[in-house]
Copies of this chain bind each other. A is one copy, B any other.
Amino acid sequence: MAEASRTSEARRDAVFGRWVILSPARSRRPTDLKSHAAANPSPGAGNCAPKPSCPFCLGRESECAPEIFRVPAPPDASPWQIRVIENLYPALRRDADPPAPEEQAAQVLPGERAVLGFGFHDVVIETPRHDVRLWDLDADGVADVLLAYARRVLQLMEHPAVKYVQVFKNHGASAGASMAHSHSQMLGTPFVPPSVITRLNCMKEVFESLGKCSLCEFQSNDILVSETQNFSAVVPFAASYPFEIWIIPRRHHPFFHEIDKDMALDLGSLLRTMLQKLSKQLNEPPFNFMIHSSPFEVSSSCLPYVHWFLQIVPQLSVTGGFEIGSGCYINPVFPEDAAKILRELDSS
């Protein structure tokens, strides 16, 4: 169905329970204010000349906060391929006192609550080179980044006060990035974050009333972009953002960090293809990706309905008061149309 022939539709998804308004007409509205995206070119090819002052570059390791571990590069290559380091300006502090067990228990009670800012905030430097973007790596290189995430999540899981680890990547100033050198981050929090609770509650409701996991089946092939042995890449049925992509393990699994080498290679290859497609279709847009996994202490009764996935969100417009107030997004591109474009696009 062509873009022009579609009229507005409201859709709700089965994972977050979020409504979205799909409205192609919105993309035609004029503006007399400077465009956000145009004013904030994302870094990338051409923009990414090696920068002598970048602390994430090879040879400047001493300007970074302490290293947690490194993934060595093949012999004769650079001294390292990936570094996982502490964030020098952490939102949460590993040296703060973790909440006491009573405090942790009190967190499930409703009402206002405050705890000391204990937690872990780490940075994953995905490559020693300033001019290389994640999708310039080969599939093995992307897989190694994913395995570094998983390894670090497993370490953080050992800490009894860490309830969740949010893995995420910001690329481009309009997606929030302050550093251009290819990197991602993770935050281990002493609480289960709000969206994770919403997601678990919504998937639970679906499971209890329909008897199925929200992500084990999807309704139509129209939203499929690509499939590998272990993963499907789709534009979700109720995508909040234009050209949003979800990469979903085909077999039910609650935890990202239990990914093995083969799965990581498969995912690395698909993630790379999706980022290449977005870059090609949308002229290297600013974007975020987020891994949605399960809290560590999830009860075994939840395991049948929690299913991890990776969400990629190109940042093509600015969120306004409607979205902030209502939690409902306005997306001018129908998921089926975005999926068709991405499916037919040659990424190479």
29 contacts between A and B (CB under 8 A): A7-B116, A8-B96, A10-B114, A11-B113, A11-B115, A12-B114, A14-B110, A17-B110, A21-B117, A22-B117, A23-B91, A29-B88, A32-B53, A32-B54, A34-B173, A36-B173, A39-B40, A91-B330, A111-B206, A166-B322, A166-B326, A175-B320, A176-B318, A176-B320, A177-B320, A194-B326, A288-B325, A289-B321, A311-B325
Known: A14-B110, A33-B173. A198 touches B327 (CB 8 A): yes
Which segment of A183-191, A227-235, A261-269 sits at the interface?
Answer: A183-191
Contact A26/B189 with A33-B180, A39-B39, A116-B8 known, Cβ cut-off 8 Å: no
Q: Which residues of B contact A221 (CB under 8 A)?
A: none
- Kindly supply a per-residue 1/0 record for chain A positions 148-186, scoring 1 wherever the CB is within 8 Å of any chain B CB and 0 otherwise: 000000000000000010101110111111111000010
Q: Which of B33, B313, B321 contacts A290 (CB 8 A)?
A: B321
How far is the CB of A24 from the nearest CB of chain B, in Å? 10
Contact A195 B8 (CB under 8 A): no
Across the two chains, which residue of chain B brings its CB closest to A326? B193
Do B326 and A195 have beta carbons less than 8 Å apart? yes
CB distance from A36 to the nearest CB of B (A): 6
- Are B202 and A110 closer than 8 Å at their CB atoms? yes
Contacts known (A89-B26, A290-B324, A330-B91); A14 close to B111, Cβ less than 8 A = yes
With A36-B173, A288-B324: A210-B318 Cβ-Cβ less than 8 Å: no
Instruction: Say which residue of B14, B17, B36, B325 sits within 8 Å of A168 (CB atoms).
Output: B325
* Residue A9, interface by CB 8 Å: yes
A301 within 8 A of B: no
Copies of this chain, how many?
2
Partner of A318, one of B96, B174, B214: B174
1/0 contact string of A1-22 vs chain B (CB within 8 Å): 0000001111111101111011
A1 to chain B, nearest CB (A): 14
Cβ B116 vs Cβ A290 within 8 A? no
Q: What are the interface flags for A125-144 relative to B under an 8 Å C-beta threshold, 1 for contact and 0 otherwise?
A: 00000000000000000000
B210 touches A110 (CB 8 A): yes
- On whether the beta carbons of B91 and A26 are closer than 8 Å, the reply is yes
A219 on interface, CB distance cutoff 8 Å? yes
Within 104-125 of A, Cβ neighbours of B (below 8 Å) are at 107, 109-117, 119
- A32: nearest residue on chain B (CB-CB)? B180
Chain B proximity mask over A79-110: 1 for CB below 8 Å, otherwise 0: 00000000011111100100000000001011
**Contact status A18-B110, CB under 8 Å:** no
Measured between alpha carbons, how far is A311 from B115 in the docked complex, in Å?
24
Which residues in B have their C-beta under 8 angstroms from that of A327?
A: 193-196, 198
Q: A325 to B33, Cβ gap below 8 A?
A: no
- What is the bound-complex CA distance between A328 and B121, given in angstroms? 14
Alpha-carbon distance A20/B51, docked complex (angstroms): 34
Q: Is A342 an interface residue (CB 8 A)?
A: no
A174 neighbours in B (Cβ, 8 Å): 36, 318
A290 touches B31 (CB 8 A): no
Q: Tell yes or no: A238 within 8 A of B by CB.
A: yes
16 new A-B contacts, CB < 8 A, other than A26-B91, A34-B41, A175-B318, are A8-B117, A11-B114, A12-B114, A16-B194, A21-B92, A21-B119, A26-B89, A33-B178, A35-B173, A36-B40, A91-B330, A111-B210, A168-B324, A174-B318, A185-B321, A288-B325
